[in-house]
Amino acid sequence: MNITAAYTDLYQLTMAQVYFGTKPDGRAVFDYYFRHNPFNSGYSIFAGLEDVLDILETLKFSSSDVTYLEQHGFEKDFLHYLRDFRFRGNIFSSKEGDVVFPNRPILQVEANIMEAQIIETLLLNILNFQTLIATKASRIRRSAQDGMLLDMGLRRAHATGGYYASRAAAIGGFDSTSNVKAAEDYNIPSSGTMAHSFIQSYDDELEAFRDFSKMRPKKCVFLIDTYNTLKSGLPNAITVAKEMERNGQQLLGVRLDSGDLAYLAKKTRKMLDDANLSYVKIVASNQLDEFVIKSLKEQGAPIDIFGVGTNLVTGKPDAALDGVYKLSEYNGDPRIKLSENILKVSLPSKKQVYRMLDKNGMFYGADAIALFSDDKLEQMEHPFDATKSLNLDRFDHEPLLEKVMEHGKKVNKPRSVTEIADYSKSRLEKLPEEYKRFQNPHIYKIGLSHQLKQERDKLVLKHTF
């Protein structure tokens, strides 16, 4: 997508103009984190990073952006700055695809304060949305077990969000997408079946299937519920499948798109098997989500491929991930944001996050946040409860934030969506089952190093009246 630096909120620019006039060389550290896992999930899947980095590398205001801002009262010197604007900061981040948790930095931006501020909206817009959808996709992947998953959501997505939704769905575990542009740009497998309109355009359903099989015999899937699934669609599909066999071809599948999907899938499987068409797969669609798919599995529905649209790409029922971007350091000094709600008090300073590992390499269930300058991590303390701490001696731990951008340039070679999806899968395998269940998942622990907690509490006192 063609995104310019004007893809931001107006207040970022008004603040930047004031910084420009008063402290143009200020250095800031901002933390990106979210406060709650969506969908009552026990984890989230971090997605969108590679897109953000790609956009930041070439981000500019277009000349028409600058003309627009000129007409809206921004002063000449500042417009001159915007004309030459580039993001030249550093970014430290969790790996895209990693399993992440609330209230710990996922990503940190270290940059000139104007640059860090101007990119905030873009960064939140992409990371919040893709993390939401990748998390939803990962839950659907879990319920579908080894079934194939096809993203069909573009038509129901929130406008161009559908483009990023298809990418995030692939990271969360979808096998393919109907979205041609996303498939092309991100090298995601594309696939699809046919619409009711195709069959309706013929007087006869059989003729519709026959024409389709002649012109598009490869990976051909018939939609069989236009008139009557068991009395018309399926018998016609079987007739054409047999004709295809005589031409040395194989029908790939039939799609069910209404009615009781478990009942129809069982009947369909039996009729296909009785016709010696056991290779023909059953595709199901119609307002599927992780719960309907789980239920279909429990009912023993012999569905091979699940097509999922609306509930995936809109992140239903959660409208958004509540990711935020908070200033944690300015010109080397720690900064804090207080709140009536203690859970919302931000964490000061540049930080590192460590994941505790069990002896078998599985995640233990705790991430510790430390000051970047901490040299030793002996225990993590509960953020708010002074009676709770965890001794870390017995754990191996891995740092989670790595430098991904230096002076505005990407540090690592680009990772494909497939690589990110594979990485995500391998990380999710290390997360114990109790964090992955849908009902009341275990709560993953987030703790602070002693020094970080002291620094936070010192600042809380300083700013409390």
Ligand X SMILES: Nc1ncnc2c1ncn2[C@@H]1O[C@H](COP(=O)(O)OP(=O)(O)OP(=O)(O)O)[C@@H](O)[C@H]1O
Ligand Y SMILES: O=P(O)(O)OC[C@H]1O[C@H](OP(=O)(O)OP(=O)(O)O)[C@H](O)[C@@H]1O
Q: Which residues bind ligand Y (CB under 6 A)?
A: 152, 155-156, 195-197, 257, 285-288, 307-311
CB of 167 to ligand NIO, least distance (A): 17
Binding of ligand NIO by 237 (CB under 6 A): no
Distance CA 287, CA 308 (A): 7
CB of 192 to ligand Y, least distance (A): 10
Name the residue nearer to ligand NIO (CB basis): 233 or 334: 233
Helices (H), 72-119: 76-83, 113-118
Give the residue carrying structure tokens 């936070």.
Answer: 456
CB of 312 to ligand X, least distance (A): 13
CB of 301 to ligand X, least distance (A): 7
Going by C-alpha positions, the residue among 429, 461, 351 that lies closest to residue 99 is 429
| 359 SS3 class | coil
Binding of ligand NIO by 251 (CB under 6 A): no
Residue partners of 230: CB distance under 8 A and separation at least 6? 264, 267, 268, 271
Q: How far apart are the first and last CA of the chain?
A: 48
> Which secondary-structure segment (H or E) carries 363?
strand 363-371
Query: Which of ligand NIO, ligand Y, ligand X, none is residue 261 near (CB under 5 to 8 Å by kind)?
Result: ligand X
Binding of ligand NIO by 176 (CB under 6 A): no
CA dihedral sign, ordered 45, 49, 51, 52: positive
Name the residue nearer to ligand Y (CB basis): 117 or 285: 285
| 44 SS3 class | strand
CB of 272 to ligand NIO, least distance (A): 19
Distance CA 343, CA 103 (A): 9
Binding of ligand NIO by 152 (CB under 6 A): yes
Name the residue nearer to ligand NIO (CB basis): 173 or 307: 307
* 132 contacts 100 by C-beta, under 8 angstroms: no
Query: Which of ligand NIO, ligand Y, ligand X, none is residue 299 near (CB under 5 to 8 Å by kind)?
Result: ligand X
Using the rule CB under 6 A, which residue among 106, 221, 240, 288 binds ligand X?
Answer: 288
Q: Which residue of the chain is nearest ligand NIO when measured via CB?
A: 192
Residue 376: CB atoms within 10 Å? 9
Task: Tell me phi and psi for residue 269, to 5 degrees.
Answer: -60, -45
Query: Which of ligand X, ligand NIO, ligand Y, none is residue 196 near (CB under 5 to 8 Å by kind)?
Result: ligand Y
Tell me which residues touch ligand NIO (CB under 6 A). 152, 155, 178, 192-193, 307, 309
User: Interface residues with ligand X (CB under 6 A)?
Assistant: 258-262, 286-288, 292, 295-296, 299
